Amino acid sequence: MANTKEDKANSSNRKRRAKPKKSLQRYYDSEHGIRNHWWPGLFSYELKEDDVKGITIAGERIGLRRANGKVYGFRDQCVHRGVRLSQQPTCLTKKTVSCWYHGFTYNLKDGKLCDIVASSNDPLIGRTGIRTFPVKEYCGIIFVFVGDEDFKTPPLTDDLPFKLPKNEPLRAPCIQDKDALALGIHRECIGDWRLAAESGGDPGHIMIHRNSALVLALDIALSLGEPVSGVDSMLIRDEKWPKGVTKYFDNIEPVMHRDDLNIHTYGKTPPYGLRVSLCLPAILFVENWPQPGMTQYEWYVPVKKGYHQYWQVLVKNCPDEMAKEDFTMRYKNAWEDLALKDGFNDDDIMAREAQEDFYNNRNGWDEEQLFSMDQFVVEYRKMVHKHARGVQPPPDKL
């Protein structure tokens, strides 16, 4: 008869690798997100004059309201009974937002409680309020600074990927260009925001895309991997903001066949100028993708434990109205499906979901075994650990 002791011994004999986690402790602790960064909240067109909409970033419930064209951000939780103001926008003036429940009314500028519909002389008026969030509209996207109220807000461009000099030979469009047009989608997906960022930037997962419509239609020669570990082709930029790590794909000879393993890819056109960067807070920046002369941005915005808002944006330089119309037409009719949805990126969503159980329920962060091509991802981890401006606490501590 085996006894309980034996059972325990059997169980503990199964090998546990004690991982030197502490070196990246802040990264491992940031399951709820990182703090004091700019994140995209909504596209500008999603918030019309007098709209009030609620979003959740890193567990923070944030209300966004447009009044006289300007967008205001505030804690989307009435101080009274904690309901979301955005649930039933009601009783609005251009200077205030009110709760639909008892009419607690807050100044948009500073969040102070300035009136209560049900009790206009209430002693609580003027003595409390909701916090506000810095908001900046940029290139058709409403960005929100999610952080401490007393934190000195950095410029938004510190949290956007590098703007390269115009004379850089392989330069692709970027969102800071004056003639940039950014078109895209966002959607809530299953998956820790970190796993989303890692799997987006991961240079070794090309296998899952090899039969995708985008790759086949454009006949792109995607490499199954690399003969060498690729550290040479990596550039780490963490001296000033923005901070990120970049990988160059131009000097790689694509591996198209592994006949011994019964797998191959199809395309004939090597990618031109393709560079992949993973930047703080959690932005993928793919230059000259899905075609040379375009750039794909992705944000992996923490929502709540195990979920992120997946932002996918294509950028092109459009110097005039005709160019804008042309890109808009092509985006709507081709690129949105072909590049951002089931023609390519939906495979990434599947791969993220596939990792959730391991990392959430089965000690994945301890037990994962990384290989050489993960060095890119590890550099991003280090960057978050060292340079994130704060680690987000769990929702009940907000």
Q: Which of 21, 187, 332, 362 binds a copy of itself (CB under 8 A)?
A: 362
Q: Which of 263, 272, 292, 329 binds a copy of itself (CB under 8 A)?
A: 263
Our finding on whether 123 is near a copy of itself (CB under 8 A) is: yes
Q: Which of residues 328-357 bind a copy of itself (CB under 8 A)?
A: 351, 354-355, 357
> Residue 78 Cβ, how far from a copy of itself at the closest point, in Å?
9
Our finding on whether 169 is near a copy of itself (CB under 8 A) is: no
Q: Which of residues 171-200 bind a copy of itself (CB under 8 A)?
A: none
Return the number of the residue (40 or 129) whose C-beta is nearest a copy of itself. Answer: 129
Q: Which of 23, 24, 26, 154 binds a copy of itself (CB under 8 A)?
A: 26
Our finding on whether 121 is near a copy of itself (CB under 8 A) is: yes
Residues with Cβ within 8 Å of 357's Cβ and at least 6 positions away in sequence, in order, are none
For residue 262, give both structure tokens: 């019964």
Q: Which of 102, 112, 237, 305 binds a copy of itself (CB under 8 A)?
A: 102
The partner residues of 220 in beta bridges, in order of sequence, read 269
Q: Which of 87, 157, 176, 328 binds a copy of itself (CB under 8 A)?
A: 87
Residues with Cβ within 8 Å of 230's Cβ and at least 6 positions away in sequence, in order, are 203, 247, 252, 372, 373, 375, 376
> Residue 15 Cβ, how far from a copy of itself at the closest point, in Å?
10
> Residue 396 Cβ, how far from a copy of itself at the closest point, in Å?
6
Return the number of the residue (171 or 210) whose C-beta is nearest a copy of itself. Answer: 210
Return the number of the residue (308 or 316) whose C-beta is nearest a copy of itself. Answer: 308
Q: Which of 21, 187, 258, 332 binds a copy of itself (CB under 8 A)?
A: 258
Our finding on whether 153 is near a copy of itself (CB under 8 A) is: no
Q: Which of 70, 109, 332, 386 binds a copy of itself (CB under 8 A)?
A: 386
Residues with Cβ within 8 Å of 181's Cβ and at least 6 positions away in sequence, in order, are 140, 315, 316, 317, 318, 323, 324, 327, 328
Q: Which of 106, 285, 359, 380 binds a copy of itself (CB under 8 A)?
A: 359
> Residue 246 Cβ, how far from a copy of itself at the closest point, in Å?
19
Size of the residue set binding a copy of itself (CB under 8 A): 93
The rounded distance, in Å, linking the Cα atoms of 240 and 238 is: 6
Q: Which of 70, 109, 124, 329 binds a copy of itself (CB under 8 A)?
A: 124
Tell me the window of 68-76, 101-109, 274-282, 308-316 that interacts with a copy of itself (CB under 8 A). Answer: 101-109
Tell me the window of 96-104, 169-177, 291-299, 334-342 that interacts with a copy of itself (CB under 8 A). Answer: 96-104
The rounded distance, in Å, linking the Cα atoms of 358 and 52 is: 38
> Residue 319 Cβ, how far from a copy of itself at the closest point, in Å?
40
Q: Which of residues 197-256 bind a copy of itself (CB under 8 A)?
A: 204-208, 224-229, 255
Q: Which of residues 27-66 bind a copy of itself (CB under 8 A)?
A: 29, 35
Return the number of the residue (10 or 333) whose C-beta is nearest a copy of itself. Answer: 10
Our finding on whether 158 is near a copy of itself (CB under 8 A) is: no
> Residue 162 Cβ, how far from a copy of itself at the closest point, in Å?
21
Query: What does the H/E/C string look like for the chain?
Result: CCCHHHHHHHHHHCCCCCCCHHHHHHHHCCCCCECCEEEEEEEHHHCCCCCEEEEEECCEEEEEEEECCEEEEEECCCCCCCCCHHHCCEEEECCEEECCCCCEEEECCCCEEEEECCCCCCCCCCCCECCEECEEEECCEEEEEECCCCCCCCCHHHHCCCCCCCCCCCCCCCCCCCCEEEEEEEEEEECCHHHHHHHHHCCCCHHHHCCCHHHHHHCECCCCCCCCCCHHHEEEECCCCCCEEEEECCCCCCCCEEHHHCEECCCCECCCCCEEEEECCCEEEEECCCCCCCEEEEEEEEEECCEEEEEEEEEEECCCHHHHHHHHHHHHHHHHHHHHCCCCCHHHHHHHHHHHHHHHHCCHHHHCCCCHHHHHHHHHHHHHHHHCCCECCCHHHC
Return the number of the residue (3 or 68) whose C-beta is nearest a copy of itself. Answer: 3
